[in-house]
């Protein structure tokens, strides 16, 4: 039970670091004119957000790394988790930097971003030497052999992109990541993986501190710098705990966001019709008349239910 104090310390330290950095970073980003460009085809209400400082993910990821390394020994699993997160952080930073310099909503091309994610996954697969088994609820561990590496690629690319898609409303990604991180913190404690529990605690704390400035009306956005890195971090924990199947339950909101885009694009290309008023699905509900806060709170609730279901499944499975 004493182990819980370390992840909780990480929560507090990471939240404190973000809270301390935000009042200094936000004015600097304003001076540099690192403001968010809003896509014209998005909801009209979002146009008022144009110019809000972005790249707030810098302080989130820095706080996670510092809190993890201060509280926990530098182990192989922590190294892998930090490496995966920082790799996606660099990719997201480059994407955001191109956006703010060119003052447009599009940064890296989709193929360029995907290539970067694949390179990260290949490096992890080559250097990590991970066991190739997968834990399946009610079935136990199943050795996937070489198929594990295809799964690793799918989980890393899919999760990082899914969290990136979720980051479309004030506080939406921050809140859902907090739930996912806390859920995995408990799972890591049950598996006696203290260093990963601390990493998850730091992730939850950093997002909690960031939420103070990111909740509607947001004073700063995390940008791809934060969302891609946080998605990579969550995927890393899922892979290192061999609970990739649970990731789809705990991250149910991320799955729904990604699937809504896939369904929308597929339907439009094959039938010439849209299933949703707009994708990702949080915009669909906005256009249905829900307020931004209502969408965020409902999605947070959905994330909480997913987290609780994931924890129950882990315990009984």
Between β-strands 133-136 and 140-143, what pairing exists: parallel, antiparallel or unpaired? antiparallel
pLDDT at 108: 83
3-state secondary structure of 229: helix
Q: Which of these, 287, 180, 281, 277, lies nearest to 227 by C-alpha position?
A: 180
Is pLDDT of 219 > 90? yes
Question: What does R_g of the chain's alpha carbons equal in angstroms?
Answer: 19
Q: Which of these, 84, 60, 61, 82, lies nearest to 73 by C-alpha position?
A: 82
pTM for the whole thing? 0.94
pLDDT at 2: 57
State the pLDDT confidence band at 101, using cuts at 50, 70 and 90. confident
Give percent of the chain above pLDDT 90: 76
State the pLDDT confidence band at 46, using cuts at 50, 70 and 90. low
pLDDT at 36: 64
3-state secondary structure of 144: coil
């Amino acid at each position: 039970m004493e182990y819980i104090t370390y992840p909780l310390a990480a929560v507090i330290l990471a939240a404190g670091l973000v809270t301390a950095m935000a009042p200094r970073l936000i004015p600097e980003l304003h001076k540099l004119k690192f403001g968010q460009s809003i896509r014209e085809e998005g909801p009209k209400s979002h146009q008022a957000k144009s110019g809000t400082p972005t790249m707030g993910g810098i302080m989130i990821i820095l706080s996670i790394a510092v809190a993890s390394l201060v509280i926990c020994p530098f182990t192989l699993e922590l190294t892998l988790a930090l490496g995966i997160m920082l790799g996606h952080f660099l990719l997201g930073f480059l994407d955001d930097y191109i956006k703010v310099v060119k003052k447009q909503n599009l940064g890296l091309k989709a193929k360029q971003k995907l290539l970067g994610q694949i390179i990260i996954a290949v490096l992890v697969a080559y250097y990590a030497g991970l066991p190739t088994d997968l834990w399946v609820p009610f079935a136990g561990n199943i050795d996937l052999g070489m198929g594990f590496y295809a799964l690793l690629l799918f989980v890393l690319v899919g999760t990082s992109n899914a969290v990136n898609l979720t980051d479309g409303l004030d506080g939406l990604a921050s809140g859902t990541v907090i739930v996912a991180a806390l859920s995995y913190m408990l799972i890591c404690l049950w598996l006696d993986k203290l260093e990963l529990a601390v990493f998850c605690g730091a992730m939850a704390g950093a997002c909690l501190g960031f939420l103070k400035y990111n909740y509607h009306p947001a004073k700063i956005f995390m940008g791809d710098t934060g969302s891609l890195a946080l998605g990579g971090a969550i995927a890393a924990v899922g892979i290192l705990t061999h609970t990739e199947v649970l990731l789809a339950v705990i991250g149910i909101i991320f799955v729904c966001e990604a699937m809504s885009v896939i369904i929308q694009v597929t339907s439009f290309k094959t039938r010439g019709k849209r299933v949703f008023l707009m994708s990702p699905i949080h915009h669909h509900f906005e256009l249905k008349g829900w307020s931004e806060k209502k969408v965020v709170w409902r999605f947070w609730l959905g994330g909480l239910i997913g987290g609780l279901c994931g924890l129950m499944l882990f315990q009984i499975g």
